[in-house]
Amino acid sequence: MKSCHAVSIILPTYNESENIGRLIYAVAQNVNRPLEVIIVDDDSPDQTWKVVQGVRNSNKNIKLLRRIGKRGLTSAISDGISLATGDVIVWMDCDFSMPPEKIPELLKKIDEGYDIAVGSRFIKGGKDIRGTRDSLIAVILSRILNLFIMILLHPSFKDYTSGFIAAKVTVFDDMRLRGDYGEYFIDLIYRAIKKGYKVVEIPYICIPRKYGVSKTGTNFFQYLKRGLKYIATTLRLRFSKVK
């Protein structure tokens, strides 16, 4: 088994000042191989970028991109990929809903020969328990959406809205990210499967965020708006040629 030479972990942030310092430390504690952490911050009003600057003073493996006048999850991840120097790219949410201690399991799957490894809430051993603090509506709609996507696209894959991923950098030489928010992940995974990339899921338990407010939405109508975009993306993929 060949170990990956280096890992680039992308952390897209907006108002995560209470989480980001702790998360950077947790990532560094859990990844025992050459590592760079790339924070892409959309000029957070709570000055997340300033917290990162402070942490960076004692850790030279941290890169910070403060984006002024530009915003969006998909473009933030894409900009992070363009800065990455690792053989493997990882990204995740920055609110501790995705456990940093699961990163080594994702990387192990890449070492074993998979092109993409995804943290999954919907395979055996996985679970989404955010409803204890975050909105229960988000948990229910996420499950319903994933069942819908599985039926229309590829039923072997379970968590099309995960957003917790490790992938060989060469995957992104072939495919760019497309979409406005979480629909980019549906698009990426489906195209990767159709193109013949080796994709695997590992279970994780998604927990309530530690601090701050969810960016997905705070009420039913915001969740519904996101969900309609996911459905539109799914239908486009189902009835068009994969590129």
| Number of domains comprising the chain | 1
DSSP states of 27-77: HHHH--SSEEEEEEE---TT-HHHHHHHHHTT-TTEEEEE-SS---HHHHH
Q: Per the domain annotation, does 2 fall within a domain?
A: no
Tell me the pLDDT band of 225, cut-offs 50, 70 and 90.
confident
**By residue range, what is the domain housing residue 185?**
7-238
More confidently predicted of 225 and 54: 54
Query: CA-CA distance, 100 to 91, in Å (whole number)?
Result: 10
Query: CA-CA distance, 149 to 160, in Å (whole number)?
Result: 7
Q: Per the domain annotation, does 1 fall within a domain?
A: no
pLDDT of 221 higher than 80? no
Bridge partners of residue 37, in order along the sequence: 9, 62
Tell me the pLDDT band of 220, cut-offs 50, 70 and 90.
low
Q: Per the domain annotation, does 88 fall within a domain?
A: yes
* Per-residue confidence (pLDDT) for residue 9, from 0 to 100: 98
The full 3-state SS of 94-155, as one line of letters, equals CCCCCCHHHHHHHHHHHHCCCCEEEEECCCCCCEECHHHCCCHHHHHHHHHHHHHHHHHCCC
Q: Per the domain annotation, does 215 fall within a domain?
A: yes
Domain CATH for 26: 3.90.550.10
Instruction: Check if the beta carbon of residue 106 is closer than 8 Å to that of residue 199.
Output: no
Q: Per the domain annotation, does 144 fall within a domain?
A: yes
Q: Per the domain annotation, does 29 fall within a domain?
A: yes
The mean predicted confidence, pLDDT, of the chain is 91
pLDDT of 177 higher than 90? yes
Taking residue 169's Cβ as centre, other Cβ atoms within 10 Å add up to 17
Relative orientation angle of helices 48-56 and 17-30, to the nearest 10 degrees: 40
pLDDT of 85 higher than 80? yes
* Per-residue confidence (pLDDT) for residue 114, from 0 to 100: 98
* Per-residue confidence (pLDDT) for residue 215, from 0 to 100: 58
* Range among 106-120, 124-138, 215-229 with highest mean pLDDT value: 106-120
* Per-residue confidence (pLDDT) for residue 1, from 0 to 100: 46
Tell me the pLDDT band of 132, cut-offs 50, 70 and 90.
low
Query: What does the pLDDT average to over 219-224?
Result: 65
Query: What does the pLDDT average to over 81-104?
Result: 97
Query: CA-CA distance, 77 to 101, in Å (whole number)?
Result: 21
pLDDT of 218 higher than 90? no
Query: CA-CA distance, 184 to 81, in Å (whole number)?
Result: 14
Q: Per the domain annotation, does 162 fall within a domain?
A: yes
Put simply, whether the predicted model's pTM sits higher than 0.85 gets the answer yes
Closest by CA position to 89, among listed 37, 14, 26: 37
Q: Per the domain annotation, does 147 fall within a domain?
A: yes
